[in-house]
Structure 1
């Protein structure tokens, strides 16, 4: 009986050893396969172009779609760096400066203290764009749009250039007057006055002639045009038929006390033409009289010669 008991103990011990060994082999197989999946996932990606979430599941790697690799922005504007990705799956998009390992944004969260940087993504879109508000010259550089991976091999570079904002033309308060300075009687005349204000156009512009304020009437018309964008006010004084009373000094003055003047001369061409005709007639008369005086001896010589020839010998 003791011999049978001893044989049973040996059999049980051998069975336990075999069972434990089989269990370790099975557990080791699972651990090995699990570790292989986690540690070597990215090796599979690089070697075969597929992403393995599980041993039995695979899908294409994320791929970048065509977007602008070079972006130029003006200082003070909002710069948009585009990054479009297909087949991203559950992965995350990270934006960073190519020269800095620290991320600017991860997903739609900003990881820097400068809140000018933020990611914009529509859940139904393939775009993961980096926006930089109030961009500065210091923001220029190469940025990296990266799909999260251990080796950072799935990435795209975008070059940002920032140019300085063009300086606006400085408009100083000014006033000028232009137009007719010499006009013939009966013809039309026009004067234009243009004034630039300091920050805004002047409210009012008036015309004066020889110290007297002018208004529109039958012959005279005054128009005013205001431009808020250019901070200017423009007025035109038009006279249909100028007469001698329209000659004089015209003054243009704004409500900001800007003032300028121009002198207009009216020419009486009818009087000048009459005087010119009289002078031409007098000169012609003098020419006839002098010719007669000069020509008289020649006629007398001819007559005397004719008489001498015709007399009988």
Structure 2
């Protein structure tokens, strides 16, 4: 049965080719026909090793890669699902937004959608689509993020006098670890070799870059605004308050309070003595009112 249908199909194919030749359109017909005719054996399919979740940075270029095996005569397109907008077909770009561009090197299996100067609004679902019948596609999930700088415990920190100021600055979502982490105090870059001494910095670079500023034996002049400024991310500030606590003075204050309560005791004693007298006065007025009423 299958061989019979195949024979009929081939016969129709040659007949149509011959008809097309009569009208001078055989080449155009052959191209259009093969575009839709399925490839014998295995058809095109996506390389599953290519990531489907992509994270990009605001202002940077983003590449969405689609790798197709056995593409044959099909074409590969990129579609944005937010507005069902056709962005690219093959090596051609079909959008007025010049930030989007189709990239493909001949004789390779990768079809790339490049987004220049990515914006937060570019986040969403994109589909790499093959022009089979019906079309088959692969979803790519794009998230555009901005580098984030944080100082633990901010925006205000309260430190006891004589304690160690420990400020930890963390940089997230940076395209690479910041080459520099600059700390300043009240708008002046901190000098780690200053006569004050006791100031140190420990920085650990990686996917999350952490910079820890340590100021030992805090004094009143150490209070104020501290700013952490990564070289490739936004700066962040925290205000440090130095508390002047004197345990001896606090103890003295408690002692003086303990010696002063006798004045309060005198007031309580006087009130206790007056209560019966006031009660008797109210009672007599109440009894008199009852007598008049009777």
Shared fold, TM over 0.5 = no
TM-score (norm 2): 0.44
Q: Which has the higher contact order (CA 8 A, sep 6+)?
A: 2
